[in-house]
């Protein structure tokens, strides 16, 4: 039963947890199963966020929905201050940078600067800003950061240059931050999903065909399978694991 697990009483922020069929909502549920109180961050899906909050509260933990746009310069400071206010707490234990966007498959010549900026703001700058703003409040030792990457960063894919570059940047940011955060007792890792059945999934696209060809397990993953890896990395059991990339991608490798 929630409230009694390894994360009992801890405060977790999960960004982009506002779509009931999304990876973020599954992560929120998995952390709540371990007893964590959850901030359900959203950008535009207010009703979805409220629905996820209800689900979490019915599990016996505290939950609140907080809005913040990843494109805003105050993304991190707003989300952190609203979290401290919502739970009347002075500490944050777990951050999961899950919110992310892709743009429709586009060749190099057709990439708009505004699309480049939107993807990098959501997938790289916002995670940085949130960690930066949360750092004074992150539990030391014991704090946990999990960034949601993508296995596309490992392989690359034409027409997905911007998205794959942003996830590659997130990976390198994670490795660099691990060196600075480690001595404080804070771990930071990446979970890198392969194709997962959510709104973002591109089922039927050439990317999917190619991915399915090189995956050992030839199916889409589930949001739960991603969430389980995040839940473990957020737990005390994973306290000696940092700066790592955990693929949850059916064993996809280079073609």
* Annotation marks residue 137 as catalytic: no
Can residue 28 be called a binding residue for ligand NAP (CB under 6 A)?
Answer: no
* For ligand NAP, the closer CB: 91 or 222: 222
Q: How far apart are CA 154 and CA 158, in angstroms?
A: 13
Q: Which of 32, 44, 40 is nearest to 69 (CA)?
A: 44
Residue 147: enclosing H or E segment and its boundaries?
strand 144-148
Can residue 23 be called a binding residue for ligand NAP (CB under 6 A)?
Answer: yes
Residue 184: CB minimum distance to ligand NAP, A: 25
Can residue 242 be called a binding residue for ligand NAP (CB under 6 A)?
Answer: no
Give every CB contact of residue 79 below 8 A, 6+ residues apart in sequence: 13, 15, 39, 41, 66, 68, 130, 133
Cis omega (within 30 of 0) for bond into 228: no
Q: How far apart are CA 152 and CA 145, in angstroms?
A: 21
* For ligand NAP, the closer CB: 143 or 193: 193
The stretch among 4-12, 31-39, 174-182, 196-204 that binds ligand NAP (CB under 6 A) is 196-204
Q: Rounding to the nearest 10 degrees, give the CA dihedral for residues 206, 209, 213, 214.
A: 60
* For ligand NAP, the closer CB: 35 or 100: 100
Can residue 69 be called a binding residue for ligand NAP (CB under 6 A)?
Answer: yes
- Rounded to 5 degrees, what angle do the CA atoms 133, 139, 141 make? 130
Can residue 34 be called a binding residue for ligand NAP (CB under 6 A)?
Answer: no
Can residue 129 be called a binding residue for ligand NAP (CB under 6 A)?
Answer: no
Can residue 148 be called a binding residue for ligand NAP (CB under 6 A)?
Answer: yes
Q: Which residues are catalytic?
A: 163
Which chain residues interact with ligand NAP by CB under 6 A?
16, 18-19, 22-24, 42-45, 69-71, 98-101, 122, 148, 150, 193, 195-196, 198-201
């Amino acid at each position: 039963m929630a409230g009694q697990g390894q994360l009992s009483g801890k405060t977790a922020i999960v960004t982009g947890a506002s779509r009931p069929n999304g990876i973020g909502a599954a992560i929120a549920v998995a952390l709540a199963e371990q007893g964590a109180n959850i901030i359900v961050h959203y950008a535009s899906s207010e009703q979805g966020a409220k629905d996820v909050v209800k689900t979490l509260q019915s599990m016996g933990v505290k939950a609140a929905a907080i809005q913040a746009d990843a494109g805003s310069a105050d993304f991190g400071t707003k989300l952190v201050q609203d979290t401290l206010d919502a739970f009347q707490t002075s500490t944050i234990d777990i951050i999961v940078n899950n919110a992310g966007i892709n743009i429709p498959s586009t060749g190099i010549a057709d990439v708009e600067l505004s699309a480049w900026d939107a993807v990098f703001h959501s997938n790289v700058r916002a995670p940085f800003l949130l960690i930066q703003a949360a750092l004074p409040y992150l539990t030391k030792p014991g704090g946990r950061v999990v960034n949601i990457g993508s296995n596309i960063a490992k392989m690359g894919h034409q027409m997905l240059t911007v998205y794959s570059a942003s996830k590659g940047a997130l990976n390198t940011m994670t490795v660099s931050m691990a060196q600075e955060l480690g001595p404080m007792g804070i771990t930071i890792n990446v979970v890198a999903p392969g194709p997962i059945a959510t709104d973002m999934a591109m089922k039927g696209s050439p990317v999917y065909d190619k991915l399915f060809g090189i995956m050992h397990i030839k199916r889409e993953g589930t949001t739960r399978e991603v969430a389980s890896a995040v839940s473990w990395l957020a737990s005390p059991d994973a306290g000696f694991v940092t700066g790592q990339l955990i693929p949850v991608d059916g064993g996809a490798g280079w073609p």
